[in-house]
């Protein structure tokens, strides 16, 4: 009822559509930023690479083991980034609906715990901690739609930094995926060739060929998903920057049209990734 009354009043003043546009942007951006499957795959990639090596390739297997250990802290860092960005975007949606933010207070503690565990270094902890503090203030002080402008203003710089880090990790995964595909193809083709030699193991040859095709199908899925997910993250950043730039004139028709267009693009990319 409160929101309905506010919307009726805002509609008379030409403002309700603004809040709805921000609410929809926040909701789909929260879902997209909270999608962690590709980050999880990135962390496990060295182990998958290792499965495409022969037992005798001890040096290469040791290198991949070491790479996996190096990625464990990075994987934890990415999980923090996903959670922080997703919660922040959900908070925008709640504020746009004149709701008190829920669940935001846990982010500050999550960031502190990650920093103490050395998952976040001094450079990476700063933007995450800034968002955590902002969300805690929003919860404890009972922020509503009237504080939306403040949250957008204070949150833009750190949220852009976190989104850029997520994009960078996905770009690194895209590059490593090409190496992983090449290694898998070499591995299965080698097994296939050995099994076919003099037709000594025809069944094993067929199994190796089937495994090669199955592996390439999975690579195809991820290679389609990564650019889509990168695009959704970039669009979140562009849309939030537009909100920040237009925060003093949020009734601007061009701003609203752009925000709706960005929201549509984010939604399209997110659902395309989830469908793969």
Q: What is the DSSP string of 76-129?
A: HHHHHHHHHHHHHHHHHHHHHTT----STHHHHHHHHHHHHTTSS-HHHHHHHH
Residue 18: per-residue pLDDT: 56
144, pLDDT greater than 70: yes
Q: 78-96, pLDDT tens digit by residue? A: 999 999 999 999 999 999 8
Mean pLDDT score of the chain: 88
> CA-CA distance, 114 to 106, in Å (whole number)?
12
Q: Given a cut of 70, is residue 12 above it in pLDDT?
A: no
Question: Can you tell me the distance from the alpha carbon of 22 to that of 89, in angstroms, rounded to the nearest whole number?
Answer: 10
CB atoms within 10 A of CB 160: 17
- In a domain? residue 10: no
H helices present in the chain, as ranges: 2-13, 16-33, 37-50, 58-96, 105-116, 122-140, 148-196, 202-245, 253-275
Does some domain include residue 57? yes
Token reading at 114: 């990650």
Q: Which domain holds residue 144?
A: 16-275
pTM: 0.88
In a domain, 195, yes or no: yes
As for how many domains the chain has, the answer is 1
- Would you say residue 5 lies in a domain? no
Report the share of the chain in percent with pLDDT over 70: 93
d(CA 110, CA 163): 18
Residue 14 sits at φ, ψ, to 5 deg, of: 80, 25
Widest CA span of the chain, in angstroms? 83
pLDDT (0 to 100) of residue 17 = 46
Mean pLDDT of 178-189: 93
Instruction: Answer yes or no: is 9 within a domain.
Output: no
- pLDDT at 273 > cutoff 90: yes
Distance CA(80)–CA(3), nearest Å, equals: 32
> Looking at the domain assignment, is residue 154 inside a domain?
yes
- The rounded radius of gyration (Å) of the Cα atoms in the chain is 23
Any domain includes 96: yes
79 part of a folded domain? yes
pLDDT at res. 256: 86
> What does the alpha-carbon distance between residue 79 and residue 40 come to, in Å, rounded to a whole number?
9
150: nearest Cα among 241, 84, 248: 248
CB 108 within 8 A of CB 132: yes
**Distant-in-sequence contacts of 255-262, Cβ < 8 A, 24+ apart:** 256/17, 256/18, 256/21, 259/21, 259/22, 259/25, 260/21, 260/24, 262/25, 262/235, 262/236, 262/238
């Amino acid at each position: 009822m409160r929101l309905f009354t506010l919307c009726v009043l805002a509609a008379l003043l030409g403002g309700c559509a603004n809040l709805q546009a921000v609410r929809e942007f926040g909701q789909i951006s929260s879902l997209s930023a909270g999608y962690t499957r590709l980050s999880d795959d990135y962390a496990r990639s060295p182990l998958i690479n290792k499965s495409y090596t022969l037992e005798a390739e001890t040096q290469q297997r040791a290198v991949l083991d070491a790479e996996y250990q190096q990625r464990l802290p990075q994987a934890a860092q990415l999980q923090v980034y996903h959670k922080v960005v997703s919660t922040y975007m959900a908070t925008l949606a709640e504020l746009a609906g004149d709701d008190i933010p829920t669940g935001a207070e846990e982010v500050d503690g999550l960031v502190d715990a990650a920093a103490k565990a050395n998952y976040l270094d001094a450079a990476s902890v700063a933007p995450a901690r800034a968002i955590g503090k902002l969300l805690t203030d929003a919860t404890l002080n009972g922020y509503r739609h009237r504080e939306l402008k403040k949250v957008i203003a204070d949150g833009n710089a750190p949220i852009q930094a976190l989104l850029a880090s997520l994009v960078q990790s996905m770009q690194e995964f895209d590059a490593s995926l090409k190496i992983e595909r090449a290694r898998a193809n070499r591995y299965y083709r080698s097994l296939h060739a050995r099994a076919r030699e003099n037709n000594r193991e025809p069944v094993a040859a067929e199994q190796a060929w089937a495994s090669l095709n199955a592996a390439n199908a999975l690579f195809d899925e991820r290679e389609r998903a990564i650019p889509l997910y990168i695009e959704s993250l970039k669009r979140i950043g562009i849309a939030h920057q537009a909100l920040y730039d237009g925060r003093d004139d949020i009734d601007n028709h061009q701003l609203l049209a752009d925000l709706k267009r960005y929201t549509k693009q984010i939604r399209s990319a997110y659902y395309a990734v989830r469908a793969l």
